Structure 1
Amino acid sequence: MAKIHREMDDIRSIELDNAFYVEDGTWIESLTVASNTGFDPETVLEGISGTSVFYSSEIPTASDDLEIRRLTILATESYPFILGLVLRQEAIPNRIVLQNDVFEIVTTTRDWDQFRSMADEVQETLGEFELLSVTQNENPGEPLDSGRLTEVLVSKLTDEQLAVLETAYNYGYFDIPREASATDLADELDIAQSTVSERLRTAERTLLELIYGPQE
């Protein structure tokens, strides 16, 4: 992931969706790569020894300034691979994302002692560790993109809804404090403010139905 990140100039993020160990340090990895510009996975991986593209598919977006691809690659990872550190402590890896040269990892552990053991090994092996938050939850999260959430979302939302959501996110509409108003979004998209509000509400309702199920 780090090598791909360094090979791409306009990278936004790389998310590890799944990984399977083969043998002799070789992994089959599924990655979701988001970039500000279009890119050819074969060309990107040419400069990285020990890697090859097995499969590539583009995830549709409503933005001309964003390309998202789901890649399945064969990769020879030098030990220890960060996923291996998590699994060796019998923790559940819920999300692993590389963004701005920083790995952000969400994991589920049985208790605090197990978490501390994992954190200590990450710190000792990689040299740096920062705890952002801890949540106690009786229901553990799903391991590494079990439901392929990104693909589910884009298949459930219309292009117009995706465009409004992406514009609202990029312009800080959801920030606290809010950086843009519905009027600003309407001006950017060249549509009526009422249309912006309607598409936002519809998109948000669709997202909530995916989480909680439709109302009876």
Structure 2
Amino acid sequence: MPTGPTGIDHRRAIVFANEPYPFLLELVLRHRAIPNRVVLQNGTATVIATVGEWDDFRSIADDVEAKLGRFDVIRVNETDRPGEPLDSGRLADVLLSKLTDDQLNVLETAYSMGYFAVPRDASAQTVADELGIQQSTFSERIRTAERAFLELVFSPR
């Protein structure tokens, strides 16, 4: 669906269920939905999936209810940007296309030097020195890159 023709309405559903994640994911995939996000936390699975038609969503909902029991639909919305399936091979391309070369260079260098490790293996100043830029320039580029990623996740759909 992500590479299909434009102008097609898509629906995204958020489902909470108290069932192991692999089984719920199997139900979603069995109905030709695109699993955009799956989170298992505190015994609850949260699934965000994209379907092509309302009937596809109803089919998933009926199957989940029949096999797992009651569940909550948090939100259903239509979008012309359905997103990418988990591990599609294209997800990295989509994310990287949203960043400038400078942002990519800063992120890659920071990542490889351990800037994102907990605890950090490299400070902002150390990464900036490696890149040959001021620490303030590094901080601006890294925040701008992080914001671009977060906008993909949290922007209105």
The TM-score with structure 2 as length reference comes to 0.48
Question: Whose RCO is larger (CA < 8 A, sep 6+)?
Answer: 2
Higher helix fraction (1 or 2): 2
The TM-score with structure 1 as length reference comes to 0.36
Higher strand fraction (1 or 2): 1
